[in-house]
Structure 1
Amino acid sequence: MLRVVLFLAFLIVPVLEIWVLIQIGQVIGGWQTVGLLILDSLLGAWLVRREGRRAWRGLQQALQSGRMPDRELADGALIVAGGALLLTPGFLTDLVGFFCVLPFTRPLARRALSWFLGRRVRLLTAGTPYGMMFPGGGSGARRPDGGRVVSGQVIDDPAPEDARPVPRRPADS
C-alpha cells in the first residue's frame, strides 16, 4: 500500500506542480512567477536555518537536563523534511514544506507523523513478541491479512487461499 502511494505521489506531484506553475504564470506572468519562486526559496532557506537552530538548542537542552528529546528529534526531522520540500521548485511542495517548518503548524505535523509512525510500528510488530511493547500491538492487533495477534501468538489466522470455500454457480437448467 505504501509503495503504491509513493509511486502515485512521485507520478502525480510533478504533474500538479507544473500545472500550478502554468496557471500562476498565466495570471501574474512568467518572470513574476520565477521571481515568486526565488523569493519563496529564500524565505524557506532563512526559515529552515532559524528553526533548525532553535530545534538544535532544544535538543541540547533536553539532553543536558537528562530527559528523552522525543519532541525535539521529531521537530528536527520535520525541519529537515520541510527544508527538502522547500528546495524543490514548485508551490505545492513549498506549502507542505512550510507546514513542516513553521513553528505554529509544526505541532500538527508532529502529531500526524507520530500517528503514522505509531501505526506502522504496531502493524509491523503485530506478529512478533515485541508487539506487546506498543499500545494495541499485542492485544488483538489486526494483521494486514486479517489475522489477529494476542500476546505474540497468531490467532484467528485466515484460511489459506486454497482452503477457502469456492462459491458455486447455480446449475444450468
Structure 2
Amino acid sequence: MRILFLLFAILPIIEIALLVKVGGIIGGWNTIGIVILTAFIGAYFVRREGIQTLQTAQMKMQRGEMPGKEMVDGLMLAVAGVLMVTPGLITDTLGILLVLPGTRHVIAQFVSKNMQLRVVTATSSQQGSPFSGADPFAQKRDENGDVYEGQYTEKSQDDDDTPRIR
C-alpha cells in the first residue's frame, strides 16, 4: 500500500521538481526534447527486446518447456514500456533499467525472491487464522486418494426403466 502511495502521489511531485530544475539548467525546450527522445528510444528497445523474448518463449513452448523466465521478462518489458512513455526523468531511468537485459535479470531475481519471501510469510501467518479450516472448494477423494468426478445415471430394474441422474 505504501508503494502505491509513493508511485501515485510522491513520484509525480518529484518528477515535476526534477524537470523544472533540469529545465532551469539546460533550458525548457532541451528538457522537453530529452523527454521525447527517451520515449522514442525506450519504445524502440522495448519493441526489440519484446520480440526477442516472444521468439524465445515460442521456441521453448515448441520444445514442451514452460517459458517462465520469458513470462517474467515480458512483464518487466511491459512495465518498462509504460515507464518510458510516462514523461519524466526518473521514470525514464527506471524504464531503461528494465529494458536492458543485464539489469532486467537482476531486478527480476530480486523481485522473485521478495515475492517468495512474502508468500511464505503470508501462508505461515494464516495458519492460526479463523479461516484456516477446511477448503470448501477442495476435491473429494476416495481412500486411495483418487479423484472421481462426473454424472452418472442409475437404472433400476423394478421401476419403469426411467434413468435417474444423481
Category of TM-score, reference length = shorter chain: 0.7 to 0.9
Q: Which has the higher contact order (CA 8 A, sep 6+)?
A: 2
Give me the identity figure in percent.
Answer: 39
- Give the structure with higher Rg (CA): 2
SS, match of residue 22 in structure 1: helix
Within 1, Cα distance between the matches of 2:116 and 2:124?
12
Q: Report the alpha carbon displacement of residue 104 of structure 1 after superposing the two structures with TM.
A: 2.0
Tell me what 1:40 maps to: 38
Unaligned runs of 5+ in 1: 130-146, 154-173
Structure 1 residue 109 and structure 2 residue 107: aligned? Answer: yes
Task: Name the amino acid aligned to 1:7.
Answer: F
TM-score norm. by structure 2 comes to 0.72
Task: Name the amino acid aligned to 1:12.
Answer: I
Tell me what 2:74 maps to: 76
Q: Report the alpha carbon displacement of residue 126 of structure 1 after superposing the two structures with TM.
A: 2.1
Alignment partner of 2:7 out of 9, 19, 24 = 9
Q: Report the alpha carbon displacement of residue 128 of structure 1 after superposing the two structures with TM.
A: 5.7
Task: Name the amino acid aligned to 1:6.
Answer: L
Q: Please list, as runs of the form range in 1=range in 2, the aligned pairs for 1:71-150 lying within 5 A after superposition.
A: 71-127=69-125
Q: Deviations over 1:48-95 (max 9, x none)?
A: 100000110111011111122111111011000111111110010111
Q: Please list, as runs of the form range in 1=range in 2, the aligned pairs for 1:151-162 lying within 5 A after superposition.
A: none
Task: Name the amino acid aligned to 1:120.
Answer: R
Tell me what 1:31 maps to: 29
Alignment partner of 1:19 out of 17, 20, 25 = 17
RMSD over aligned Cα atoms: 1.9
Task: Name the amino acid aligned to 1:90.
Answer: G
Within 1, Cα distance between the matches of 2:24 and 2:13?
17
Tell me what 2:60 maps to: 62
The count of aligned residue pairs is 130
TM-score norm. by structure 1 comes to 0.70
SS, match of residue 104 in structure 1: helix
Unaligned runs of 5+ in 2: 134-166
Within 2, Cα distance between the matches of 1:66 and 1:36?
44
Alignment partner of 1:53 out of 51, 54, 64 = 51
Within 2, Cα distance between the matches of 1:6 and 1:102?
24
